[in-house]
Chain A
Amino acid sequence: MTDPLRTEAVLTDQALIAATEGGLPLSPTPYADIAARLGVSEAAVTDRLRAMLADGRIRRIGAVPNHYRLGYTANGMTVWDVADDRVMELGAAVGQLPFVSHCYLRPRVPGLWSYTLFAMVHGRSRTETDAHAATIRALLGDALRGGEILYSTRVLKKTGIRTAGRQPVKETS
């Protein structure tokens, strides 16, 4: 039931995000299904997704695994105080490590927080995750001034992004 007045011109990023944030349908033609829902062509959907991948607004399209269900129960947020003039180069190297899923640079907060490099590390036990942290520590070398692992002990809330007033989607990662 495509409305002829709804053309590709009204495929806004917001509409595409809202239509896909719950995940792609498990049907043989997921992009065509989303396009039909939005009243646009399938090419409009895939072209837009491709463009958003190219410009970095979409990091990736893929399966979002639940690390916990795969046995990766020791998920630590490692935080590091790294010399400012080395942190870009070293942060990129940390991000390349296979057990690091996310790596970010964040600001210091004077008097409260001195760690700037954040790397999420996944292991099947705290022993394994601690060993991964030791690998990062060694990589950071003499640029490192301090670090800690913050293990999550409880998930108190976990919902997907809400952009269009829809029900939150459950995310697992």
Chain B
Amino acid sequence: MATVDLSPLEKDLLDITQRDFPLSPRPYATLARRLNVTEEAVLGAFRSLQTQGVVGRIGAVWAQGAVGSSCLAALKVPSARLEAVAATVNAHPEVNHNYERDHPWNLWFVVAARDEPAREAVLDAIAAETGLPLLRLPMEQGHHLDLGFAIDWSAPAAPVPVTVPIPVKEKRP
């Protein structure tokens, strides 16, 4: 796997700005003062982070519910049907994430619609179109909601085996 080689400034910016991007008129200048560099250096570092694909965007992370109504859902898909079912699910524009996971419930996706009835209508349609068992798991209570996480800059990146058994398995509902 290709790993990125980040400058000290890029690392500092990643550490600081996952949580605390300034709401000041010149936020990059505010960060620059804090890090004792120029505003242009900060802007250049962010451009570099984006070019390298390390940062997708700088912006607001919206809470669920602030923008319509969303729900995590899962399907238990026979492996022979996975591609076709994934395409059926993805064809709905309200589906914004869809992952294959290493589990009998193997297709996990998020449906976001303007309100709860619209969301449920999409989920009903997916259940009907696929004819498969569908889990609906809306969020009940969030803790530590997408706050970013601490990046350990000292540890080397390691390649990942693609298929290993699911290591934690005590019971299955």
Write the residues of chain A forming the contact surface with B, with a CB cutoff of 8 angstroms.
13, 17, 20-24, 26-32, 42, 46, 49-50, 52, 56-66, 69-74, 77-78, 81, 88, 91-92, 94-96, 98-109, 111-116, 118, 122, 124-126, 128, 130, 133, 137, 145-163, 168-173
| Nearest 3 Cβ contacts at the A-B interface | A95-B144, A23-B57, A71-B157
- Please state if A147 and B112 are interface contacts (CB–CB under 8 Å): no
Contact of A62 among B61, B98, B141, B171 (CB under 8 A): B61
Secondary structure type dominating chain A contacts: mixed
Known: A17-B62, A126-B160, A145-B171. A63 touches B96 (CB 8 A): no
Interface size class of B (residues with CB under 8 A): 35 or more
A123 to B168 CA separation, bound complex (whole angstroms):
15
Q: Mark B85-101, 1 if CB is under 8 A from A, else 0.
A: 01001100111111111
A-B contacts, 17 listed (Cβ < 8 Å) = A23-B58, A28-B26, A60-B19, A103-B142, A103-B144, A103-B145, A105-B140, A106-B72, A106-B138, A107-B138, A114-B171, A128-B155, A148-B103, A150-B166, A157-B97, A162-B93, A172-B55
Known A61-B61, A152-B101; 13 more pairs at CB < 8 Å:
A30-B27, A52-B66, A61-B59, A63-B57, A64-B58, A65-B148, A70-B4, A103-B145, A104-B140, A113-B137, A162-B112, A170-B56, A171-B57
B49 lies within 8 A of chain A by Cβ? yes
B80 lies within 8 A of chain A by Cβ? no
Q: Nearest Cβ distance between residue A168 and chain B, in whole angstroms?
A: 7
- Please state if A161 and B112 are interface contacts (CB–CB under 8 Å): yes
- Please state if B29 and A100 are interface contacts (CB–CB under 8 Å): no
Q: Nearest Cβ distance between residue A18 and chain B, in whole angstroms?
A: 10
A13 to B62 CA separation, bound complex (whole angstroms):
11
A170 to B53 CA separation, bound complex (whole angstroms):
11
Contact of B173 among A56, A102, A113, A154 (CB under 8 A): A113
- Please state if A109 and B136 are interface contacts (CB–CB under 8 Å): yes
Name the residue of chain A whose CB is nearest to the CB of B114: A163
B13 lies within 8 A of chain A by Cβ? yes
List the B side residues contacting A102 at CB < 8 Å.
142, 144-146
List the A side residues contacting B151 at CB < 8 Å.
65, 70, 72
Q: Nearest Cβ distance between residue A74 and chain B, in whole angstroms?
A: 5
Interface centre among A27, A59, A96, A133 (most CB of B within 10 A): A59
Name the residue of chain A whose CB is nearest to the CB of B55: A63
Known: A113-B173, A133-B168, A148-B169. A42 touches B25 (CB 8 A): yes
A33 to B65 CA separation, bound complex (whole angstroms):
27
Contact of B166 among A31, A107, A146, A151 (CB under 8 A): A151
Known: A64-B55, A152-B100. A124 touches B63 (CB 8 A): no
Contact of A22 among B23, B57, B144 (CB under 8 A): B57
List the A side residues contacting B147 at CB < 8 Å.
59-60, 101
A92 to B94 CA separation, bound complex (whole angstroms):
30
Contact of A156 among B49, B98, B142 (CB under 8 A): B98
A21 to B57 CA separation, bound complex (whole angstroms):
9
- Please state if A71 and B62 are interface contacts (CB–CB under 8 Å): no
Q: Nearest Cβ distance between residue B9 and chain A, in whole angstroms?
A: 13
A29 to B43 CA separation, bound complex (whole angstroms):
11
